[in-house]
Chains A and B, each alone.
Chain A
Amino acid sequence: MEFRQHLTVVLRINGLDRQMRVDARTTLLDLLREHLALTGTKKGCNFGECGACTVHLNGRRVNSCLVLAASADGAEVTTIEGLAAAGKLHPVQQAFIDHDAFQCGFCTPGQVMSTVALIREGHTRSEAEIREWMSGNLCRCSSYPQIVAAVEAAIRVKEG
């Protein structure tokens, strides 16, 4: 197999097709942040330990720091910038505000993206299950009880 320093990839990011020439070393996270100026997705550790870089890749939540951009060729990516439709907050975003589920806000885009996926996955049958399945997203300000309250409220909005 031939090693190429640069590759051309096509990704559908927040509904827009983007064709880009990328460095083979570039992660999806750095592609978003440094090449596309989508800086809502945060870099907290760059090793898949904190969840601040959570995005949806073909509908699944992933740590974008652990995904090479080249390997995501042809994929559909949703970031925090793609969540609010036409200026209206997503119910999960609104729930985070209503339940004071953040302080410094740095982990928040990842927490919100994880919550949207968590609800879709159905890992919401109990508070304990929510806490377990939200544990890939660290919050050092430690707003965990408020995050769980926000998740539960967002579920109610979806059901109601």
Chain B
Amino acid sequence: MSIGEPFSRIDGPIKVTGTARYTADLRAANMLYGVLVTASIPAGKVTGIDKGGAMLEAGVVRVLTHEDMPRARTPIAGPPFAHSFLPLQDDQIRHEGQVVALVLAESLEAAEAGARKVQVRYAPTKATMPVALAWPEIDRAAEPPRNTGYFFLEPEFSKGDAVHNLAKAPKTVATVYSQPSRHHNPMETSAVLALWEGDALTVYDSTQHVFAVQRGLAALFGIPPASVRVISQHTGGAFGVKGLIGAHEALAAQAARIAGRPVRIALSRANMYSFLGYQPRIVQKMGLGADEKGILTGITHDVVNLATVTDDYIEAATEASKALYATPTMWLRQRAERANVAMPTAMRAPGEGPGMWALESAMDELAVDLGMDPLDLRLANYAETDPATGAPWSSKKLRDAYEEGARLFGWRDRPRFPWRDGDWIVGQGMASCLMGTFRFPSRAQVRLRRDGSAVVETGTQDIGTGVLTIFPQIAADVLGIPVSAIEFKMGDTTLPEAGPTYGSSSTMGVGAAVLAAAQDVRNRLARMANLSPAEVCMADGRIGRTGAAESFSVADILERAGESEIVGTGSFDPTKHGAGYSMRTFGAIFVEVGVDPELGLLRLRRAVGSYSVGRIVNPRTARAQLLGGIVWGWGMAAMEQSAFEPSLGRFLSKNLAGVAIPVNADIPSDITVHFVDEVDEKASPIGGKGIGELGATGVAAAVANAVFHATGKRIRDLPITPEKLIA
């Protein structure tokens, strides 16, 4: 058995020696370097661009502006593009940081120097800026969302009369929770290398979805998708920001066409804060109604997020309230506040990430009001079926996750009151974790060779989640060969089409396709050996009837048939699995924090995360996913914010010096990740569900709840920075 084994990462040797190649590591013969010039105003138009200074810079070959760029063959309208307009197609400025020129040069030094010398003249118009962070202002500015292709859910949902139930409930919570815009900050900035051979385009890209880039660029140039090849061997972190096609990917391909030479653009860190997505500012008005025993009678959840003027990205935070508790009534609403800002996008964890911050903070406030253990309040409102639809769960072991997590943390035996440890007041808190389940169609091919080695092929992406290890594990498990005998080809649109690497979807979709392809190989081999495919198993390069002593060598079977290899194909179609069931992943997070009340410092001391996510293919890589999620949750809770400066209409700091993200010193080693024993075969034949985002949910609420336990201060605006703790 390979599935369930904690194999160390197959990509280990190439990643620790620096030989793994990321997009910016690649070069092509005769390549030009591209550096972007971005708008310094948030609204208006470009009235003139002086290229003279830049063109005098030795090595600068060309400066491209909206006056040079060919018009897109197909109007860009929503996904797979990250924004429904493409820069350099007209003179309009929609947000600060929008690309206004692209400098192409023989060297990076020349391109950067040239970009600094491009003089852009603007005619500014009055920009719409985000309103003050207060509910009445946010509520007044909010508008119903427009469907520009970037939100997938109904903006309003109700069941029963929640407003009425809250009005007559003996216990209520009515509070507003807020969080600032935050950026993904993958360590690798986005990068792209585009080259044309005649009318065929090859793009090396830092992306979460090679096939989306292929389709989008084919439409842009009006050429068949088969004429566009997209390759992505390793992407240096993504977390959502590389999910859709950014301006640089289109511009590199356009520039390479115009220049007749390959073009590589590796974004600066500032570029990442200029025209790529981020998790927008989100403000949530939360209402809970309960009886004297804490049984919920209604939930209201009113969410407003920042969006741009051209498109609405809707942060579906109400998904949390829709799915977590067995409430008889609910009223949920999503709206957008529009401003001249860059287009937001999904970020680990979208929807439930923000939603659980509000819901699980409010539940803690209710527990305090009732004098109940917060864990008991959650158990009292446990949803045995989907509270919004009444559908049964594909699988849910949240009760086990609560209990096992509580035991590992020592929750039930915890001190009732906070205690002192030197300068620190120590408090504890908990919250539930919840994430939606996204599944995408995927295909795979497996070739088993006569020598017992195999090739697994599917066009998925490596962004660090562990797919380079777990997909070979799945194939090895079926074929009864060592993982080391498998070669894995991925990250290329010439391979069978796989879904995107976002939405915690890869194991279910691509994993199931690999499983089916390996099973197809086994079935073909069984028939060649005159065995019933339903009754065979493979081990050590042999196939035999399950339980029987007699077995046949794969090499012999292939030799007799005169074949050098057996090719199996497999696919995953989400519509064929789990229809009628509601699918989510669940968990519980328990944290212990220290607060220094004199200095306002907040530290994480230890944490236990306990999760109900179905079968775990590789406990080692799975632990890294959940642990990473917890650290992301800590960042959201304690430090992360991309401060927006309204007088300039831009993010204040477009760098990693002015924006805090967790560093090693912030994270204690005492973090336990626990999985309950579970198999969910309705979600996917793999038996597992997604794990990439769940860990980041609930953490901010658990931290704020622990801060309340320690200090009696209820913080409702993230991040929990020192000034809020001293106040």
A and B associate in one complex: yes
* Contact flags A11-39 to B (C-beta < 8 A → 1, else 0): 00000000000010110001001100101
Stretch from B355-363, B423-431, B660-668 that touches the partner: B660-668
Residues from chain B with a CB closer than 8 A to the CB of A138 are 187, 656, 661, 663
Rounded to whole Å, the gap between the CB of B8 and the closest CB of chain A is 6
User: Which chain B residue shows the least CB distance to A101?
Assistant: B16
Bound-complex Cα distance A23 to B110 (A): 10
Residues of A within 8 A of B237 (CB): 103-104, 106, 140-141
How far is A121 from B107 in the complex, measured between Cα atoms in Å? Answer: 37
Question: Interface majority SS on A: helix, strand, loop or mixed?
Answer: loop
Question: Are B624 and A105 in contact (CB-based, < 8 A)?
Answer: no
Contacts A39-B21, A42-B22, A45-B269; A148 near B664 (Cβ below 8 A): yes
Min CB distance, A50 to chain B, in Å? 6
Return B540 CB to nearest CB of chain A, in Å.
26
A140 to B15 alpha-carbon distance, docked (Å): 15
B669 on the A face (CB < 8 A): yes
Complex interface bits, A138-160 against B, C-beta within 8 A gives 1, otherwise 0: 11111111111100000000000
Contact between A103 and B628 (Cβ–Cβ < 8 Å)?
yes
Name the contact of A149 in the complex, choosing from B12, B20, B113, B669 (C-beta under 8 A). B669
Q: Mark out the residues of chain B between 1 and 58 whose CB falls within 8 Å of any chain A CB in the assembled complex.
A: 8-9, 11-22, 24-25, 27
Which one of B25, B185, B669 contacts A140 once the chains associate, using CB atoms below 8 Å? Answer: B185
Query: Do A104 and B8 form a contact, CB below 8 Å, given A42-B236, A139-B187, A140-B187?
Result: no
Q: Assess whether B8 is in contact with A97, with CB atoms less than 8 Å apart.
A: yes
Q: Which residues of A contact B465 (CB under 8 A)?
A: 103
Contact A80:B17 (CB < 8 A) given known A106-B187, A143-B624: yes
Does B285 count as interface, using CB distance less than 8 angstroms? no
- Chain B residues touching A, range: 35 or more
Q: Given A45-B269, A93-B16, A145-B627, decide whether A103 and B466 contact each other with a Cβ distance below 8 A.
A: yes
Q: For B187, what are the chain A residues with a Cβ–Cβ distance below 8 Å?
A: 42, 44, 50, 52, 104, 106-107, 138-141
B543: CB under 8 A from chain A?
A: no
CB-defined contacts of B628 to chain A, threshold 8 Å = 103, 141-143
B186 and A49: CB pair below 8 A? no
Closest chain B residue, CB of each to CB of A97: B12
B463 at the A/B interface (Cβ < 8 Å)?
A: yes
The answer to whether A64 has its CB under 8 Å from any CB of chain B is no
CB distance from B503 to the nearest CB of A (A): 17
**B655: CB under 8 A from chain A?**
yes
CB-based contact A106/B22 at 8 Å:
yes
Contact B13 A89 (CB under 8 A): yes
| B186 and A104 within 8 A (CB) | yes
B11 touches A105 (CB 8 A): yes
A17 to B630, CA, bound (A): 46
Residues on B lying within 8 angstroms of A by beta carbon are 8-9, 11-22, 24-25, 27, 107-109, 112-113, 184-189, 234-239, 266, 268-269, 462-466, 620-621, 623-625, 627-628, 630-632, 655-657, 661-669, 671
Besides A25-B113, A44-B189, A100-B624, 7 new A-B residue pairs in contact (Cβ under 8 A), listed by A number: A33-B24, A81-B17, A89-B16, A93-B16, A128-B665, A134-B664, A138-B656
Spell out A's residues near B (CB within 8 Å): 23, 25-26, 30, 33-34, 37, 39-47, 49-50, 52, 79-81, 83-84, 89, 93-94, 96-98, 100, 102-109, 112, 127-128, 130-132, 134-149
